[in-house]
Structures are given as structure tokens and as C-alpha cells.
């Protein structure tokens, strides 16, 4: 077993170096495309064990392949922003948020070459080499499916070849997210790897077999049919000769690895090939300028061997450092937050309130659509998730009324800030409580973002009475009817005080979240992170269909909007759950306080946004369009909100002790 694992690692090491060589773009290395990725898929099949496609199996594969993918994408985004600021002197909020949005989109699309989905331009960048990770996930998934439904290996292989052919043909028409077609093309190679192990074929190969395979590969290279096998685009020169040459070259690499038997360097690279690939992606996407700067400083020629050496000198030590950190982390005490509190929802609140503040700045249009598609509905759904059904009516009303205390504090502060200049006007606007007006109530001004406190109060108030309906189907019907009434009022320009029309629209999301808790939906999602592939597509489709904006009553296609918002909520919950599991309890508690301070942060943002902006602009000397202005402003908002929340908690403790 030890010897077998060694040669597998050596073969992976050879292929990983070949991947790096292939990305240099030198014609001398074009032959590596015939075998490097094919060998990885064959070896994944060689080590594959037939297992049922259970949720636990899918989760395990998702965590192993996709978590490194997301971490790598996040790292690239951070470095892209740093490079934009340091190298390109880009500091405007609009341009920086545009960079972040483009990186989010390309990370979702996971394409190594294509940038369009049908007639939709996904991003101006490709995700790069790690398209391989989602492709590997789906290739293994499809292969396991075939192994489970067919007993005959001939039927398995025949279906695998058919799936590969369909994937290649579809690639000429449309490219799907997550490099699914590349995965389809890889399925036959995964199955071949499985058969190599099952029939012990590698032990039966003779020297003349390898000689014959070398001749086939050489002939393919001579005719040019071997090199043109781009799994990233499902492109091949010939549908028979090219895959045959790739299979022969992959077996040659495997034979060479078995012949070498031992190489510490290749074994390290192969054993940690996933980490090496991720580091290579970061290097390839973000550090080319620095390599060029070093070459010019040392007067090194732009020779492919020098570039390859520079890349390896960077990739190998960084990969070794990552491996060391991961080992140390595994040996350290558990970091996962403990206790009964679900920090995931607090982290979601924190994320949403920060996005709300950022969304009120001059940001990229795509990033704005992303924010407005979920940040307000998410708060509504979190509130609905914690709604307690069956409580006495009076108790529910009293508890709901307490939700108006932050708004009362807002009005008092507003009057104090106004210093009596227009008390009737402040009281009028506070009582009417508009987000915006359209056809009616135009004589009252908006109360600003704090309108949401009133909207949420009305939503809760209406739902208390709806919840008293005993018949479940009648209750669902009433919620849908009120939801449609809210849409009708909003689209007709009847924007009511306290955003009551918008509250009726929000009622459906409140209702859905309430039933999520009854049916333990979030608990199921926590154990099924692989839902990302479905949920992200639904959310993306909603955004590209026009997105939404609650304050402006821009609801879009209702069916798509509802599905997209629910999908986004579940997806962000899965993300926040993953964050909470990998942070210390101390950090989780800090973020939790931000989440619990959202009402106070909202009030501070509404009343003191201009004051905070003036302080950052005039005292700290930051331009209003500067990204550092926004980051500093957000930090001040959050810290002030947390301070108010801390004072409130301290007063409650004093009151409790006094009562005792």
C-alpha cells in the first residue's frame, strides 16, 4: 500500500509540474496538455471506491474540493484589490467594488476560458486553473452514479463515453457554470482509472506495451492531434485519436512514476497537489507583475525556463507553509464556537448591515444589485425565523411593540439634533414614517434607512394575526394574498406610511422563514453545503433577471424574486455557518455583537452619516469617493452601534441586579 501511494504521489507530482509548465504558454510544452489533467482524472478513478451517493458522501467531496476553491478565490480577490490600489493607483469605491463584483462572478462561473453564459457576459476575467476542482467534483459524482446504477462495466463505460460526447457537443453551444462539461468529458477517464485498479492492469503491462503507447503518443504529437486536448474547453483535434493519445501518454506517466518509485520532491508535490494548484492559481492570477519586476531588476531574459524556476521557487515554499499551518491547525484545540447560540445568523446580520452601509455609497452597479437583492429580505427572514407561534395575542403584541423602542430613540435624537428648528416637520415625518413616497404622501419626507424598523414592526404585527388562522392552507393563502396586495400597491405607486405596502410584500418571506424553522431547513442546509451549486444558480438568475429593491418597490418577476431571495438566504446561511465553525468563540462573540447591534447601527447611519462622513473627509483627510473613506466610515458606524448596544446591556444588568 505504501509503495502504491508513493507512485501515485509521484505521478501527481509530475502532472502538477506539467500543469505549471503548460500555463507558461511556451510551444515547447504544448505536449503536456495531452496527459496532465487526464492523469489526474485517471488516478482519481484508481483510488475511487464505489459508494452510495449519500448526503454525507457529497458533503465530504464538496468540503475536500470546493472549500479550497472558495478560499483560493477569496485570496485572489483580496490580492486583486491590493494590486489595484498599489500598482494601478485605483482607490475609488466604484472601481474597487467593481473589481470585487467581477471576482465574485467569475468565482461563481468557475470557467477556465469562457466568459459568457449564453448571451450573458459573466465577467471580464476567467477564474483560472482551479476550474479543475468543481470539474473533479462533478466528474467523481457522475462516475459514482454510473457505478451505482450499472453492474456491467461495459454499460458504465458506454454511458461514460456518451456523457463525454454530449458534454463536448454542448460546449460548442453554451458553457454551463462550474465547468460541468469538462467534468462530463473527464468521466470516461475516471472509469478507466477504476478499471485499472479493479483488473490490476498496471501489474500486467509489459515493456512492449509501453513502447507501443509511446509510439502512438509520438505519432499523435507528430500529426498535431495529441497536443490539442483542452479539457478546460472540451476541445480536441480528433474525437478518437486525441483521447487515445492522451490515454497512452497518461499511462506512460504512470509507468514512469512506478519506475521512479521514490522522489521526495515529487511525492511532496503530488501528495499536496491540491494546495500546490491553489497556490499556483494565486501566483498566476495576481503576481505576474512582481515576477516581471524581479526579472527586470536582475536583468534576466524572458526565457520560459527562468520563468518556470521563479514560479517553482515561489510555489513550493508557500505550499510547504500552507501544509505546515494546516497540520498545526489540526493539532490545535477545536476553534469551533460552542454553546447554544447559533452564531451563523448573527454573522449574517453583521454581514447584511455592513453591506447596507456600503450599498448607500457610490458603488459598482453589479455590486449594488447583489446587495439589494438580499440585504433587507435577509433581515425580514431572520426575524420570521425566530417568530414564536402559538403565544397569547397580548404577549405577542407587547413583545412586538418593544421593537419600536429603537425608532422612538431615533425620533428623540432627531429632535435633539434638529434643535427645535422644525419640530412640527420632524414629528410629521416621524409619524408618517415613509421610506419614499410616489403618488401619495408626497408632503412628507423620508425618514431614511430607519424606515426598515417600522416595516419590520408592521410585518410582525400583521403576521401575529395571520398566525392565529388554524387551517394551514388557509394561512398560506392569506399570506400569498397579502403579498400580492403589497406588490399591487407598490407597483401602483401607493406607497403607504410605515412602508405598510412593502411590509405586506415582506410577509411572504417572513412566513417562509417561520416554516424553515418548523421544518429544520437551516439544520439540513448546514449538513448539505453541496446545495451551493443549486442555490447560487437560482440567486444569480434572479440578479441577472433584474434583481430587486424593497425601498423602491422594484420587485421584478415575482416567482424569480421569491425563489432567488430564499436561495440567497440559504446560501449565505451556509457560508456564515462555515465561518462560525472555523473561527474561535471569542471572534464569533465579537461578530455576534455586531449582529445584535444592527438596529443601533442603522439609527447611527441614518442620523449621523453626514457627520461621520465630514469627520472622515475633513479630519482624516479622505476623499469621499475613496475606498478607505468607505471602510473607515463603516468601521465608525459599527463601533458606535456596538458601543450603544454595550451601554444598553450594562443598564439591563444594573436594572436586573437592582430588582434582585
Determine which helix (DSSP H) or strand (DSSP E) holds 120, and give its type and residue range.
Answer: strand 120-121
Which one, of 223, 230, 229, lies nearest residue 242 by Cα?
Answer: 229
Strand partners, 230: 235
* Residues 347 and 595: beta-carbon distance below 8 Å: yes
Which one, of 213, 238, 234, 209, lies nearest residue 223 by Cα?
Answer: 238
The larger pLDDT score, comparing residue 392 to residue 143, is at 143
List Cα–Cα distances, 31 to 37, 253, 546, 596, in angstroms: 12, 13, 45, 58
Alpha helices in 433-471 (DSSP H): 451-466
If you compute the radius of gyration of the chain from its CA atoms, what whole number of angstroms results? 29
What is the rounded CA–CA span in Å between residue 503 and residue 185?
Answer: 49
List Cα–Cα distances, 556 to 15, 311, 414, 523, in angstroms: 48, 48, 34, 30
365 has a pLDDT exceeding 70: yes
Mean pLDDT, rounded, of the chain: 91
pLDDT in tens, 191-211: 999 999 999 999 999 999 999
Q: What is the mean pLDDT of residues 559-564?
A: 94
What is the rounded CA–CA span in Å between residue 503 and residue 461?
Answer: 10
339 has a pLDDT exceeding 60: no
4 has a pLDDT exceeding 60: no
pLDDT at 478: 96
Q: What is the mean pLDDT of residues 80-87?
A: 94
What is the rounded CA–CA span in Å between residue 112 and residue 128?
Answer: 5
What is the rounded CA–CA span in Å between residue 133 and residue 139?
Answer: 10
Determine which helix (DSSP H) or strand (DSSP E) holds 116, and give its type and residue range.
Answer: strand 116-117
**DSSP track, 198-258:** HTTHHHH--HHHHHHHHHHHHHHHHHTTTT-EETTTTEES-TTHHHHHHHHHHHHHHHHHH
pLDDT at 338: 44
Which one, of 539, 521, 545, 489, lies nearest residue 375 by Cα?
Answer: 539
302 has a pLDDT exceeding 70: yes
* Residues 510 and 385: beta-carbon distance below 8 Å: no
Centre a 10 Å sphere on the Cβ of residue 7 and count the other Cβ atoms it contains: 24
Phi, psi values for residue 434, rounded to 5°: -85, 145
Please state the pTM of the whole predicted model.
Answer: 0.93
Centre a 10 Å sphere on the Cβ of residue 217 and count the other Cβ atoms it contains: 23
**Which region holds residue 260: left if phi is over 0, alpha if psi is between -120 and 50, else beta?**
alpha
* Residues 66 and 280: beta-carbon distance below 8 Å: no
Residue length, the chain?
660
* Residues 345 and 570: beta-carbon distance below 8 Å: no
2 has a pLDDT exceeding 60: no
pLDDT at 649: 86
What is the rounded CA–CA span in Å between residue 393 and residue 465?
Answer: 8
pLDDT at 332: 54
Q: What angle do CA 84, 88, 92 make, to 5 degrees?
A: 65
pLDDT band at residue 423, thresholds of 50, 70 and 90?
Answer: confident
pLDDT at 602: 94
pLDDT at 122: 81
pLDDT at 335: 45
* Ranges 33-47, 298-312, 411-425: which has the least confidence: 411-425
Report the DSSP pairing between strands 120-121 and 235-236. unpaired
pLDDT at 37: 93
* Ranges 171-180, 515-524, 583-592, 626-635: which has the least confidence: 583-592
325 has a pLDDT exceeding 50: yes
352 has a pLDDT exceeding 80: yes
* Ranges 62-66, 117-121, 299-303, 511-515: which has the least confidence: 117-121
pLDDT band at residue 1, thresholds of 50, 70 and 90?
Answer: very low
pLDDT band at residue 518, thresholds of 50, 70 and 90?
Answer: very high
pLDDT at 484: 97
What is the rounded CA–CA span in Å between residue 346 and residue 538?
Answer: 24
Q: What is the mean pLDDT of residues 489-518?
A: 95
**Separate counts of helices (H) and strands (E) for the chain:** 29, 4
121 has a pLDDT exceeding 90: no
pLDDT in tens, 9-65: 999 999 999 999 988 877 777 888 889 999 999 999 999 999 999 999 999 999 999
SS3 (DSSP) at 121 = strand
Phi, psi values for residue 120, rounded to 5°: -100, 125
Q: What is the mean pLDDT of residues 598-607?
A: 94
Report the DSSP pairing between strands 229-230 and 120-121. unpaired
Q: What is the mean pLDDT of residues 364-389?
A: 93
Q: What is the mean pLDDT of residues 228-250?
A: 90
pLDDT at 419: 62
Amino acid at each position: 500500500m505504501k509503495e502504491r501511494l508513493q507512485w501515485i504521489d509521484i505521478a501527481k507530482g509530475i502532472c502538477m509540474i506539467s500543469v505549471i509548465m503548460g500555463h507558461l504558454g511556451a510551444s515547447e510544452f504544448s505536449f503536456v496538455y495531452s496527459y496532465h489533467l487526464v492523469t489526474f482524472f485517471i488516478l482519481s478513478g484508481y483510488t475511487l471506491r464505489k459508494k452510495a451517493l449519500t448526503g454525507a458522501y457529497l458533503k465530504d467531496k464538496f468540503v475536500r474540493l470546493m472549500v479550497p476553491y472558495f478560499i483560493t478565490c477569496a485570496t485572489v480577490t483580496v490580492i486583486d484589490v491590493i494590486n489595484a490600489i498599489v500598482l494601478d493607483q485605483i482607490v475609488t469605491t466604484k472601481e474597487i467594488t467593481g473589481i470585487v463584483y467581477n471576482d465574485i462572478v467569475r468565482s461563481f462561473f468557475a470557467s477556465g476560458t469562457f466568459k459568457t453564459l449564453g448571451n450573458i457576459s459573466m465577467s471580464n476575467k476567467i477564474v483560472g486553473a482551479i476550474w479543475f476542482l468543481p470539474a473533479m467534483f462533478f466528474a467523481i459524482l457522475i462516475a459514482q452514479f454510473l457505478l451505482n446504477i450499472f453492474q456491467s462495466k461495459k454499460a458504465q463505460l458506454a454511458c461514460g463515453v456518451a456523457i463525454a460526447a454530449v458534454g463536448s457537443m454542448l460546449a460548442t453551444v453554451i458553457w454551463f457554470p462550474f465547468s460541468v462539461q469538462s467534468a462530463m468529458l473527464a468521466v470516461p477517464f475516471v472509469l478507466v482509472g477504476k478499471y485499472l485498479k479493479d483488473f490490476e492492469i498496471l501489474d500486467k503491462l509489459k515493456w512492449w506495451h509501453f513502447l507501443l503507447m509511446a509510439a502512438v503518443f509520438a505519432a499523435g504529437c507528430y500529426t498535431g492531434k495529441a497536443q490539442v486536448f483542452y479539457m478546460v474547453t472540451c476541445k480536441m483535434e480528433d474525437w478518437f485519436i486525441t483521447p487515445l493519445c492522451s490515454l497512452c501518454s497518461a499511462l506512460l506517466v504512470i509507468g514512469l512514476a512506478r519506475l521512479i518509485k521514490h522522489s521526495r520532491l515529487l511525492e511532496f508535490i503530488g501528495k499536496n497537489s491540491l494546495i500546490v494548484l491553489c497556490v499556483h492559481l494565486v501566483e498566476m492570477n495576481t503576481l505576474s507583475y512582481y515576477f516581471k519586476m524581479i526579472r527586470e531588476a536582475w536583468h534576466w531574459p524572458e526565457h520560459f525556463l527562468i520563468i518556470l524556476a521563479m514560479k517553482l521557487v515561489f510555489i513550493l515554499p508557500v505550499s510547504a507553509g500552507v501544509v505546515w499551518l494546516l497540520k498545526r491547525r489540526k493539532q490545535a484545540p477545536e476553534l469551533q464556537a460552542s454553546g447554544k447560540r447559533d452564531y451563523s445568523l448573527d454573522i449574517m446580520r453583521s454581514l447584511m448591515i455592513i453591506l447596507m452601509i456600503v450599498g448607500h455609497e457610490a458603488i459598482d452597479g453589479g455590486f449594488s444589485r447583489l446587495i439589494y437583492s438580499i440585504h433587507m429580505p435577509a433581515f425580514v427572514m431572520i426575524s420570521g425565523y425566530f417568530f414564536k407561534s402559538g403565544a397569547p395575542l397580548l404577549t405577542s403584541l407587547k413583545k412586538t411593540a418593544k421593537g419600536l423602542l429603537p425608532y422612538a430613540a431615533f425620533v428623540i435624537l432627531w429632535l435633539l439634533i434638529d434643535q427645535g428648528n422644525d419640530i412640527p416637520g420632524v414629528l410629521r415625518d416621524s409619524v408618517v414614517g415613509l421610506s419614499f413616497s410616489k403618488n401619495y404622501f408626497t408632503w412628507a419626507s423620508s425618514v431614511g434607512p430607519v424606515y426598515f424598523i417600522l416595516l419590520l414592526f408592521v410585518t410582525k404585527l400583521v403576521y401575529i394575526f395571520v398566525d392565529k388562522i388554524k387551517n394551514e392552507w388557509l394561512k398560506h393563502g392569506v399570506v400569498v394574498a397579502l403579498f400580492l396586495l403589497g406588490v399591487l400597491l407598490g407597483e401602483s405607486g401607493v406607497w403607504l406610511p410605515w412602508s405598510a405596502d412593502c411590509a405586506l410584500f415582506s410577509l411572504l418571506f417572513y412566513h417562509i422563514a417561520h416554516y424553515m424553522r418548523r421544518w429544520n431547513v437551516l439544520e439540513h442546509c448546514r449538513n448539505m453545503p453541496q446545495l451551493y451549486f443549486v442555490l447560487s444558480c437560482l440567486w444569480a438568475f434572479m440578479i441577472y433577471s433584474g434583481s430587486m429593491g424593497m425601498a423602491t418597490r422594484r420587485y421584478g418577476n415575482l416567482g424569480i424574486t421569491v425563489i432567488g431571495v430564499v436561495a440567497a438566504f440559504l446560501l449565505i446561511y451556509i457560508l456564515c455557518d462555515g465561518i462560525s465553525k472555523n473561527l474561535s468563540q471569542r471572534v464569533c462573540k465579537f461578530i455576534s455583537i455586531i449582529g445584535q447591534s444592527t438596529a443601533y447601527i442603522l439609527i447611527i447611519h441614518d442620523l449621523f452619516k453626514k457627520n461621520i462622513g465630514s469627520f472622515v473627509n475633513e479630519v482624516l483627510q479622505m476623499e469621499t469617493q475613496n475606498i478607505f473613506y468607505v471602510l473607515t466610515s463603516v468601521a465608525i458606524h459599527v463601533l458606535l452601534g456596538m458601543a450603544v448596544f454595550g451601554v444598553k446591556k450594562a443598564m439591563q444588568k444594573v436594572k436586573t441586579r437592582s430588582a434582585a
